[in-house]
Amino acid sequence: MQAVQAFRHRVLALAVLAALGIAACGGGSSDSDSASSSSSSSVTVPAEPAGLGYADTAAAPEGVLAYVDTGVTNQRNDPCMVTLGTNAGARVLQGFLDIWTPSSLKVDAGVTLAAANGCDAVTASTWTGIPGDATDGSVKNSSIHTANIDYVKTVTQNRTTAQALAVYLDDRRSKGYSVSDGMGPLTSLWRTGTGQTTTIVSVDPEAATTKVDDGGNNLGDNTSSALAQAVTFIDSGNISDGSTEPPKRFYKYGRPWRWSGDVVVVPALESAKSSTPATDGGFPSGHTAEAWRDVLPMAYLFPQRFQELITRAMEMGENRIIAGMHSPLDVMGGRVHATAVVAYGLTKTSMDKAATYQLVQDYLMAQSGAKDFAELNEKAHTAVTTDTSDVDYDRFSDRAANKAYFEQRLTGAGYGLGKIAANEGKSATVPKGAEVLLETRLPYLTAAQRRIVLKTTLIDSGYPLANDEEGWGRLNLFAAADGYAAFNGDVAVTMDASLGGFNAKDSWRNDISGAGKLSKLGSGVLRLIGDNSYSGGTILSAGTLAADSDTALGTGDVFVKGGVLESAAPGTLSIGGAYTQTTGSLSLVLSGAGKGVLKVGGSLAVSFSGYTPAVGDTLTVLTTNKLAGRFASVTVAGFSKVTTTYTATGLQIRLDAI
């Protein structure tokens, strides 16, 4: 056999299987020469997997003010919007109160407001911005707070010159330009299409430098560039209500270099440090939030690079720490705040989202020479250079590394931040409107289903900042882009290939657990790649369901009544329960000896309807182009002993005794 071979063959015995009532059920591969008797003489075709009989739900938490409804209150110029209950920006980050108690629970750092609209005047806080002063707040969780500052000390004291340059560029360049390199091999096409520019190319990061500002255009040209409409769309994620200043002035938490003299700020950024600490809180990080406000709309328009782009935003946060400008909690807060802001912006925008998405797809297809979405997706993940200094070098080509990097920083575990025991294991909540973030990445799912995807991929509530009332701090968008992580209800997926994009072909990479079943409908192709353990069964009615791991189909029954079931498993595709195929096709893509083979464990049961064979008869019960493996046992209704004969293309049974 060649090292890599692909065999596709249609199961030819389907009519025989249906007529004789053959079902494979259980597990094993050995020969069987005898059978117990049975009085049944009717066709025995197993029922379809029943699953749980209901779909999962992910309703928004009741009695909670939703950010997508109240985002306009993320202000610092209205006396009616200064408390936790009246300011959405402060409220979305309330998990920080498990770690830090500000000196006042108001948006009042450097803020003085006259009474208005029936609300009392606001007097500026006496907070000086210097940790330890009498006007400072108080640490509520010392272990997490200490780890938060210690991490900054460690990374800034061990920073390399290359890291120093990278963090300098992320600090001084416009954020939209910086994060656009998350487009990887398509970066130059994106920057040309949007007309993005920067005036900051390089610097000696170890030398003292006068503060330099970027004279470029950040997101690009929103008037005459080919992607001007996309530039405007992305900028809508940076709506005026998206500023981090309101929560900064509410939480009043100092910069890490003010907490400890052991934090070493990049020398070239010393001149960029604020000299007014009372209005320069560290939490949340504004640079990090801006990066997220840029990449999430970009990922909406170009979901082929969804995970790479959000990994780039996570890197922006990390670079703020390595620079010495922010702490881990600061950048985690920036991410949480911006995620809510963008969902709010995408929900409220008056722009035509579908048209803007298509504009970007069409432009990049034309410029890259791709004939369709699938080919563009391939080009978006195909290296065009190994030169790390080239603008199109893909620093995010390793998906596994991206996932590990992302999730370590998402939870805070990568920063050495522990969990908050009192918050662990709380019920899963999905913020209202959060599903809009996945509209183009999982377009074939309903809004309700996208919410369930978010629900099944949430991080635990015990992690720092993961305990806000809505659940913004628990969202794991990297995992959500890989589909469901659990079937806690039955899931029916309809993919219409004629709609193009991920409607035509997509892959779910998560390890899927749960007791629900999967029903695949529609003409599209869905590939299952994870180590799946869902037990409710699988029904294929149309299109292609591809099993790309040995356990892709979980542990339940598999029922094929249409479409193509494709096994491209690296080893043997195991069917944990019964395998039934009444029509449709089975496609085995063998990548080597024993790889991609379908293993239906257990027994073969044969019964008869309107036909009574005699002792001594030999029946062909299964024919196919290629047969590998054996049933653990073969039973025939009404006969106590049978002899099985396996060939390369089928199975015969001889009826030896009643």
pLDDT tens-place string over residues 562-571: 999 998 888 8
- Please give the C-alpha separations between residue 361 and each of 84, 370, 501, 527, in angstroms, as whole numbers: 41, 10, 9, 23
Is residue 628 over pLDDT 90?
A: no
pLDDT of residue 7: 26
Per-residue pLDDT band for 652 (boundaries 50, 70, 90) equals confident
pLDDT of residue 577: 84
Predicted confidence (pLDDT) per residue in 447-477, tens digit: 999 999 999 999 999 999 999 999 999 999 9
The answer for residues whose C-beta is within 8 angstroms of residue 464's C-beta and 6 or more apart is 95, 98, 99, 144, 329, 332, 412, 417, 419, 420
pLDDT of residue 594: 57
Predicted confidence (pLDDT) per residue in 537-561, tens digit: 999 999 999 999 999 999 999 999 9
Predicted confidence (pLDDT) per residue in 489-525, tens digit: 999 999 999 999 999 999 999 999 999 999 999 999 9
Stretch 393-412: mean pLDDT, rounded? 98
pLDDT of residue 634: 78
Is residue 593 over pLDDT 80?
A: no
Q: Are 341 and 241 in contact (CB under 8 A)?
A: yes
Q: Which two tokens stand for residue 452?
A: 């369930």
Stretch 185-211: mean pLDDT, rounded? 94
Stretch 343-364: mean pLDDT, rounded? 96
Is residue 137 over pLDDT 90?
A: yes
Annotate 346-370 with b (16+ C-beta within 10 A) or e (fewer). Answer: bbebeeebeebbebbbebbbebbeb
Q: How far is the C-alpha of 329 from the C-alpha of 619, rounded, in Å?
A: 71
Q: Are 579 and 558 in contact (CB under 8 A)?
A: yes
Q: What integer best gives the mean pLDDT of the chain? A: 89
pLDDT of residue 453: 98
Among 576, 617, 572, CA closest to 591: 572
Stretch 475-480: mean pLDDT, rounded? 98
Assign residue 28 a region (left: φ > 0; alpha: ψ between -120 and 50; beta: otherwise). left
pTM beyond cutoff 0.95: no
Stretch 625-649: mean pLDDT, rounded? 78
Stretch 268-274: mean pLDDT, rounded? 95
Helix (H) or strand (E) holding 162: helix 161-172
Q: Got the DSSP string for 280-300?
A: ---SS-HHHHHHHHHHHHHHH
Least confident of 37-46, 76-85, 171-180, 605-614: 37-46
61 phi and psi angles, rounded to 5 deg? -60, 135
How many Å separate Cα 526 from the centre of its chain?
16
How many Cβ atoms are within 10 Å of 410's Cβ, its own excluded? 24
Stretch 373-380: mean pLDDT, rounded? 97
* Amino acid occupying residue 594: G
pLDDT of residue 317: 98
